[in-house]
A and B are shown apart, each in its own frame.
Chain A
Amino acid sequence: MLLRLAGLAALALLAACGGLLVGGSPLATTDVMQALLHPAHASAVTTIVWQLRMPRICIAIVVGSSLAVAGALLQGMLRNPLADPYLTGVSAGAAAAISIAILAGVAPPLTPGIGFVAGLGTAILVAALARRGGGVDPNRLILAGISLSALFSAVVALVLTRAQSIDYEQQIIAWLAGSLAGRGWHSLAVALPYATLGMALALFAIPALNALRVGDVRARAVGLDVGRSQWLILIASSLLAASSVALAGIVGFIGLIVPHLARRVVGSDARVLLPACAFCGAALCLVADAIGRTIVAPSELPIGVLLAFIGVPTFLYLYLRSEART
């Protein structure tokens, strides 16, 4: 199992290296190596590597791993394979707040922070509505998440219809489609502490996730404080999803599908599943970003759109093939 995990880590590393080499201006491996080894050396390649590609690669790693781990956390807690990180309304809340902020003319550097706060706020509201006893009721959580998401989606639609300028509309749509374009070290610095906190909390949730595999009642019977574990998992997944939305807008597919792919490779033991999701999510995000930067260069395709186009058919093919075998 550790070998498979190492394989996924190598895949993510390979994707990161590939991400450094490809883009609007293809770079030679030796030039990239030089730029990496001598970051202070002033050259066009150094600028491209350290100011453009490296922050994007780091952001792609954070976004991909955060969404995949958040998806695995929620699927494990709810024992629902259809759960995804946006179930708690994080994306819809963030999108509504960012749309309003763009319409109100708030400075672009502030939008990630607004998205993060609104996303997290929505998740807290959904969790409060789903509260029951010492924990949360999974059905209530899903209903509250869907209801609030619908409400906030309506807010986004309203903002789009009221937007007076095409520029505002494009900015909003870029957020909705999910994109890493124009993100730099500053964006990463805003979201990284929260993503790191989310990952740390996810580690604490590993024993609980493993116990919850036999259902809430049995997990309680073997000594798990189910209510407390649910809150831990909700906080961790909300922090991860909100960080990701703040960094890249709404990137779909990863949080829903990657946990399924990772389970097929390493099984459902959370001790290996969560790292596997992190590696796999990062690799996918890196590959999609690299393709998005190159196939229509110098323009870019949004990462969310690319992930859906490439990932969904690939997943369906793998899933149906393995179903046919069993």
Chain B
Amino acid sequence: MIELRDLGVSIDGRMLLRDVNASVEPGEFVAVLGPNGVGKTTLLRAIAGVRPHATGSIVVGGEAVDRLRPAQRARRMAFVTSDDALTDALKVADVVGIARFAHHRWWEWSSTPDDEAAIERALRAVRMEAYRERLFSTLSSGERQRVWIAMGLAQETPVLILDEPTSHLDVRVAHKILALLREVARRGHTVLCVLHDLNEAAAYADRLMLLGCDRLLAFDRPNAVLAGDAIEEAYGIEMERVRLPDGRLRVFARDAVL
């Protein structure tokens, strides 16, 4: 379980978010939403323990993240971040294999059968098993994104945190990835994921965490968040709401609809 208590995050001394209080249960898929620059990535990085937070506390599995040793933290949480170029010529399996770092002691330099099995499972889950021996640099941006997700899966942690995992992906692959994350959550993992598409988030997530105006504006079931005024407050534009036959809401920017 992830618990955020009076959490504040900042960049270079500028507070982006204050007083964030939320808890995410095991088996839950939470989508983090909000306009550009609101602090979604900074919040996720703080939760994942890869950057410090300014105030409050982050508790994962009963322990404060900033008290965990790096390897302990990496056995609890995997963090998948957006694409960036690699300087070295690495094969796909090598990239994914790096995720197994925390499962080794410092003198254990070779991969174990467990590592190989985890890499294989992760590549299969993102449909990249055929690319195992391909050089990462030869992949398309969508394929690279799937490799990063495979890296997160190969870490085999109870918590999976993803920063815009569907960026660079076409609509078909994006939905496959989100369905996969849904399945990961169903198996008992906690999934926390930044998404930009409100309707994509509403279709797959159990709850939406909406950030805006330097605070947590809403944290609730998709229909409750989409129906409220917080969406307009967060993005500063009017929204048009459409109810699907099964009762689920979808939202669109009013100007776009007109």
The distance from the CB of A236 to the nearest CB of chain B, in whole angstroms, is: 15
Residue in A81, A214, A263 whose CB lies within 8 Å of B95: A214
Please report which residues of chain A, range 53-84, place their CB below 8 angstroms from some CB of chain B when the two chains form the complex. 79-81
Chain A hits for B48, CB < 8 A: 221
Whether the pair B102, A222 counts as a contact (CB closer than 8 A) is yes
CA distance A222 to B161 in the complex (A): 12
Digitize A118-150: 1 where CB-to-B-CB distance is under 8 Å, 0 elsewhere: 000000000000000100000000000000000
Chain B hits for A217, CB < 8 A: 45, 50, 79, 81
Question: Are A222 and B87 also in contact (CB < 8 A) when A206-B109, A217-B45 are?
Answer: no
Chain B hits for A211, CB < 8 A: 98, 101
Q: Which residue of A lies closest to B73 (CB)?
A: A223
Question: Are A221 and B81 also in contact (CB < 8 A) when A206-B109, A207-B104, A271-B109 are?
Answer: yes
CA distance A222 to B97 in the complex (A): 10
Question: Are A207 and B101 also in contact (CB < 8 A) when A215-B84, A223-B70, A223-B73 are?
Answer: yes
Chain A hits for B177, CB < 8 A: none
Whether the pair A268, B101 counts as a contact (CB closer than 8 A) is no
In this complex, which of A81, A211, A223 has the most chain B Cβ atoms within 10 angstroms of its Cβ? A223
The distance from the CB of A237 to the nearest CB of chain B, in whole angstroms, is: 17
Q: 17 A-B Cβ contacts within 8 A?
A: A133-B52, A210-B101, A213-B87, A213-B88, A217-B45, A218-B81, A218-B98, A222-B99, A222-B101, A222-B151, A223-B70, A223-B72, A224-B101, A225-B70, A263-B89, A267-B89, A268-B88
Interface assignment of B78: CB less than 8 Å from any CB of chain A: yes
Instruction: Give me the interface of A with B, judged by CB distance under 8 Å.
Output: 79-81, 133, 204, 206-207, 210-211, 213-215, 217-225, 263, 267-269, 271
Whether the pair A222, B74 counts as a contact (CB closer than 8 A) is yes
In the complex, which range does the number of interface residues on chain B fall in?
Answer: 20 to 34
Interface assignment of B75: CB less than 8 Å from any CB of chain A: yes
Q: Which residue of B lies closest to A264 (CB)?
A: B89
CA distance A213 to B98 in the complex (A): 9
Please report which residues of chain B, range 121-167, place their CB below 8 angstroms from some CB of chain A when the two chains form the complex. 151, 155
Please report which residues of chain B, range 37-94, place their CB below 8 angstroms from some CB of chain A when the two chains form the complex. 45, 48-50, 52, 69-75, 77-79, 81, 84, 86-90, 94
Whether the pair B78, A221 counts as a contact (CB closer than 8 A) is yes
CA distance A219 to B71 in the complex (A): 11
Whether the pair B98, A223 counts as a contact (CB closer than 8 A) is no
Q: Which residue of B lies closest to A268 (CB)?
A: B88
Question: Are A214 and B102 also in contact (CB < 8 A) when A206-B109, A221-B50, A223-B75 are?
Answer: no
Q: Which residue of B lies closest to A210 (CB)?
A: B98
CA distance A268 to B90 in the complex (A): 7
Whether the pair A223, B101 counts as a contact (CB closer than 8 A) is yes
The distance from the CB of A83 to the nearest CB of chain B, in whole angstroms, is: 11
Whether the pair B155, A222 counts as a contact (CB closer than 8 A) is yes
Chain B hits for A225, CB < 8 A: 69-70
Chain A hits for B100, CB < 8 A: 222
Chain A hits for B101, CB < 8 A: 207, 210-211, 219, 222-224
Residue in A81, A206, A213, A267 whose CB lies within 8 Å of B86: A213
Whether the pair A223, B102 counts as a contact (CB closer than 8 A) is yes
The distance from the CB of A325 to the nearest CB of chain B, in whole angstroms, is: 14
Chain B hits for A220, CB < 8 A: 49-50, 70
In this complex, which of B78, B106, B109 has the most chain A Cβ atoms within 10 angstroms of its Cβ? B109
CA distance A206 to B98 in the complex (A): 13
